[in-house]
Amino acid sequence: MAEIPPYHTHEEFQNRSRKLREIRTAGVDPYPPHFPSTRAVQELILQYEKRNDIGHFEEAAAPEAPLVRIMGRLVLFRSMGKNAFAHLQDATGRIQILINRDLIRVTGDPSTETMSTHKWIEKNIDLGDWIGVEGSLFQTQKGELTLLVKQLTLLAKALLPLPDKHSGLADKGIRYKKRWLDLIVDPESLQRFRLRSRILTILRSLFQEALFEEVETPILQTIYGGAAARPFTTHLQAHHQDMFLRIALEISLKKLLVGGMPRIFEIGKVFRNEGIDKTHNPEFTMLEAYAAGWDYKDMMMFVETLFEKLALELLGTTKLRITLEQEGTSEVIDVKAPWRCLSMKEGIQIYAGHDVDLLHDQALRALLEKKTHLPPERYAKAPRGLLIAMLFEELVEPHLIQPHHIIDHPIETTPLCKPHRDPKLRQEGMVERFESFILGREMCNAYTELNDPELQRALLEEQASQREAGDVEASPMDEEFLEAICQGMPPAAGVGIGIDRLVMLYTSAESIRDVLFFPLSVSH
Q: Positive or negative, the Cα torsion across 474, 478, 483, 485? A: negative
Q: Sketch out the chain's domains with CATH numbers.
A: 6-162 (2.40.50.140), 185-339+402-514 (3.30.930.10)
Q: What is the CA radius of gyration of the chain?
A: 29
pLDDT of amino acid 282:
94
Report d(CA 322, CA 505) in Å as an integer: 8
pLDDT of amino acid 168:
61
Report d(CA 288, CA 284) in Å as an integer: 13
Q: What are phi and psi of 348, to 5 degrees?
A: -65, -40
Q: Burial, 293: exposed, middle or buried (Cβ in 10 Å; 0-12, 13-18, 19+)? A: exposed
Is there a contact between 136 and 53 (Cβ–Cβ < 8 Å)?
no
pLDDT of amino acid 165:
62
Q: Is 78 left (phi over 0), alpha (psi -120 to 50) or beta?
A: beta
Report d(CA 475, CA 486) in Å as an integer: 19
Is there a contact between 322 and 439 (Cβ–Cβ < 8 Å)?
yes
Is there a contact between 389 and 412 (Cβ–Cβ < 8 Å)?
yes
In the three-class reduction of DSSP (H, G, I as helix; E, B as strand; rest coil), residue 22 is classed as helix
Q: Which amino acid is at 499?
A: I
DSSP line for 324-339: ETTTTEEEEEE-PSSP
Contacts 24+ apart (CB under 8 A), 192-196: 192/503, 192/507, 192/509, 192/514, 192/515, 193/515, 193/517, 194/91, 195/314, 195/503, 195/506, 195/507, 196/503, 196/507, 196/515
How would you write 444-489 as a 3-class SS string? EEEEEECCCHHHHHHHHHHHHHHHHCCCCCCCCCCHHHHHHHHCCC
Q: How far is CA 471 from CA 46, 375, 382, in A?
A: 59, 15, 11
DSSP line for 152-192: EEEEE--SSPPPPTTT----HHHHHHTHHHHHHH-HHHHHH
Q: How far is CA 70 from CA 56, 174, 190, in A?
A: 20, 30, 19
Q: What are the average pLDDT values for consecutive 10-residue runs of the chain, which has 524 residues?
A: 87 96 95 92 91 89 95 95 94 96 93 87 96 96 94 97 74 89 92 96 97 97 88 92 95 97 97 91 96 98 98 96 77 96 97 96 95 93 94 96 97 91 95 97 96 93 85 85 96 97 95 94 64
pLDDT of amino acid 236:
92
Report d(CA 240, CA 328) in Å as an integer: 54
pLDDT of amino acid 325:
67
pTM recorded for the entire structure: 0.91
Is there a contact between 132 and 36 (Cβ–Cβ < 8 Å)?
no
β-bridge pairing 430-438 and 441-448: antiparallel
**CA neighbours within 13 Å on the CB side: how many for 377?**
2
Report d(CA 109, CA 275) in Å as an integer: 57
How would you write 400-439 as a 3-class SS string? CCCCEEEEEEEHHHCCCECECCCHHHHHCCEEEEEEEEEC
Q: Burial, 493: exposed, middle or buried (Cβ in 10 Å; 0-12, 13-18, 19+)? A: buried
Is there a contact between 217 and 253 (Cβ–Cβ < 8 Å)?
yes
